[in-house]
Chain A
Amino acid sequence: MTHRREALLALLFALAVLAAAFAAPWLRFVLTLALAKGIAALGVMLLLRAGQVSFGHAMFVAFAAYAVAFLAGRVGDALLLLPLAMLLTSLLGLVIGLFVARYREIFFGMLNLALSMVFYSLLEKFYSITHGTDGMRVPAVTWAGMATERVGGEWAVLVAALVLAIGFALLARLYLASPLGEALQGIKTREARLEFMGLPPRRVLLVAYVLSAAMAGTAGALIALTTRHVTPLMGYWTASGELVFIVILGGAGGVLGPFLGAVAYELVRVYAAASVADAWQLILGAVLLAVILFARGGLFSLLRGRRA
């Protein structure tokens, strides 16, 4: 896809989101969640470029959401809360990344899963701090100093999510085209070659990991500002699986893929999840299997790192 066509497509996508939110007010909430999950999925996709899959990125989403819930009382403005949550999550990503960037494939995926399960248990167990499974309410926040009523607040988060989504998509595009981003594919094919070229693979992966954590953190902060209620379930493995699912589903279309995947996923979920609540993961798993086993074109173009 040429730059021009991708830019055009992104513009159309943004306009479609705004138009849909304008036409159907109840869609604002759904679309904000979809954009947020798209940002998180974009981060997971960066890691997939390096041939690594994380089954634990919802940990960063939940971490940022709880950060917002804790800080909203003290830092009352969303425009301060969002960067703050992003920064804190990046720091967590750096600490965890220093550890997991030493590992590949099975270890990488499973260590992320294990760490996220630990984080989930901690959120659940430290009732005195986190209120356990009841979760925490997020106090009302202002936007650039302005108090917003319900509808205005919804628009504010949606627009913020859209702007951040476009910003991160551009950033991801630039990053993937840069030498550091190109090196990700080197991790997938043969690491030794990267080392011969003087690029330490661990650091290449660490950069991608911190970026992906920042994106997941942004998503978590946006979700917390939208739902106004955070629970440990945001960091459960099913939430991480959801992100992986979105990437695989929408992956092939470059940086736009995760967003298209996220919107499609959220819309279906709104209609379907309530009626098949106990079979939702079953359906996701079956679709995931079907995509991997039978519709390989989409998945493989991504896994092989080819540009769509």
Chain B
Amino acid sequence: MGAWFADNGLLLGLALLDGLASAALIFLVAVGLNLVFGVLRVLNIAHGSLFAIGAYTAAGLGAALGSGALPAWAALGVLILAAALVGAVLGPLIERLLLRRIYAEENVLQLLVTFALFMMLEDVQKLVWGVQPVHHDAAMRLFGTFDVPFGSDFIPFTAYQLFVLPGIAVLVLVGLVWFLRSTLSGRMIVAVTTDREAATAIGINADRVYLLTFTAGAVLAALGGALASPTAAIVPGVGASTIVLSFAVVATAGLGRIEGAALTALMIGLGRSVAVYFFPEAEVLIPYLIMVAVLLVKPQGLFGTLETRRI
């Protein structure tokens, strides 16, 4: 063990830091998916496409504004702005035109509708941004690197992945929990989730709650994509892998659970990046192995309760 650690310790350290950064991104997307499902009871398969569109838009906006010459915080602001734009435009559009028609329908039908939307959006990306990888890493370069002390060594790691990504993820988690528990709008969302009819009866506009929640979910997906865009090139197909990965997180945590999603994202993010360094071929398997193992033991997910699992 000691000898192994001496040889591979640095690699493990690097894997853990990488895992932390990717867990932050996974969390942002998964929590959006979870929030939307918790309130609308619709699993939005096109959620992954919103991630991809957020990433493309952020890269495009960054390039257009020349964010390489801006201060680091402004470059980060550009990413967040892109995400907000994507979510605020596409979110209401999808909710109003599509989802509103199918709330009363069977689950299978809802799945088919969001799957059809997913098919369409995947091609929209190809038509708008082409099939070549898109890369714009100004925001990450501007934040520079940070030497993480590791035993007698240092691991140079980008400050963007080390501080900015996990920081934003924590802010979103705390903000979301605070919003749902302590603000009037948040309480209204919880009320509609618990009992739509009773909530409507006491004067809550359920339609508005649905619209706001879906838009918030769309912004979170796009934010995940926008923040991921400086760390890796965006390629076609990223939407599909994102939706399955975030579904794995949500299923493992238990549908409708927000804090649980954070812990699960951390587990899956770390597991995956350790695999990248030590068993690269198994990388894609790890999230699903974790999910299958959890589901076999606890079908309702780690944090789900039996009655919330209506599936």
Contacts and interface: CB of A to CB of B under 8 A. Distances in A.
A81 to B, nearest CB: 28
Interface in B93-140: 98, 101-102, 106-109, 111-113, 115-124, 126-127, 131
Given A55-B115, A278-B127, A286 B120 contact: yes
Contacts of B98: 289
A173 interface: no
Max chain A Cβ within 10 angstroms of own Cβ: one of B106, B111, B113, B247:
B111
A98 to B, nearest CB: 10
A28 B108 CA distance: 35
A148 interface: no
Contacts of A99: 292, 296
B195 interface: no
A240 B108 CA distance: 16
Contacts of B227: none
A281 B122 contact: yes
A200 B34 CA distance: 31
A303 B107 CA distance: 11
B281 A117 contact: no
Interface residues of A, number: 42
The A interface, classified by DSSP as helix, strand, loop or mixed, is helix
A107 B107 CA distance: 11
A288 interface: yes
B306 interface: no
A114 B288 contact: yes
B185 interface: no
A65 interface: no
A292 B284 contact: no
Contacts of A248: 112
Interface string A278-297: 11111011101100110000
B149 to A, nearest CB: 35
A115 interface: yes
A107 B244 CA distance: 11
B3 interface: no
Contacts of A55: 45, 111, 115
A51 B43 CA distance: 16
A113 B242 CA distance: 12
Contacts, number: 113
A260 B240 CA distance: 29
A237 interface: yes
A55 B101 CA distance: 22
A118 interface: yes
A193 interface: no
Interface in B186-231: none
Interface string B61-96: 000000000000000000000000000000000000
B267 to A, nearest CB: 16
B73 to A, nearest CB: 37
Contacts of A286: 116, 120
A52 interface: yes
B244 A48 contact: no
Interface in A37-57: 48, 51-53, 55
B112 A292 contact: yes
A103 interface: yes
Interface residues of B, number: 42
A71 interface: no
Contacts of B240: 117, 237
A105 B116 contact: no
Contacts of A125: 281, 284
Nearest to B112: A292
Contact of B288 (A109, A115, A280): A115
A278 B247 contact: no
A106 B119 contact: no
A113 B46 CA distance: 13
A102 interface: yes
B251 interface: yes
Interface string B219-256: 00000000000000000000011001001100100010
B285 interface: yes
A51 to B, nearest CB: 5
A292 B299 contact: no
Contact of B111 (A105, A118, A238, A285): A105
B123 A106 contact: no
A293 B101 contact: yes
B108 A51 contact: yes
Contact of B127 (A48, A117, A279): A279
A244 B123 CA distance: 18
Contact of B108 (A105, A237, A285): A105
Contact of B123 (A117, A237, A279, A293): A279
A38 B118 CA distance: 23
Nearest to A280: B123
Interface of A: 48, 51-53, 55, 99, 102-107, 109-111, 113-115, 117-118, 121-122, 125-126, 237-238, 241, 244, 248, 278-282, 284-286, 288-289, 292-293, 303
Query: Which 10 A-B pairs rank lowest in CB-CB distance, beginning with the nearest?
Result: A285-B119, A285-B120, A282-B123, A288-B116, A121-B284, A105-B107, A285-B116, A281-B123, A281-B119, A289-B116
5 contacts: A53-B112, A107-B251, A121-B284, A125-B284, A288-B116
Given A118-B288, A280-B123, 4 more contacts: A51-B106, A99-B296, A105-B108, A111-B251
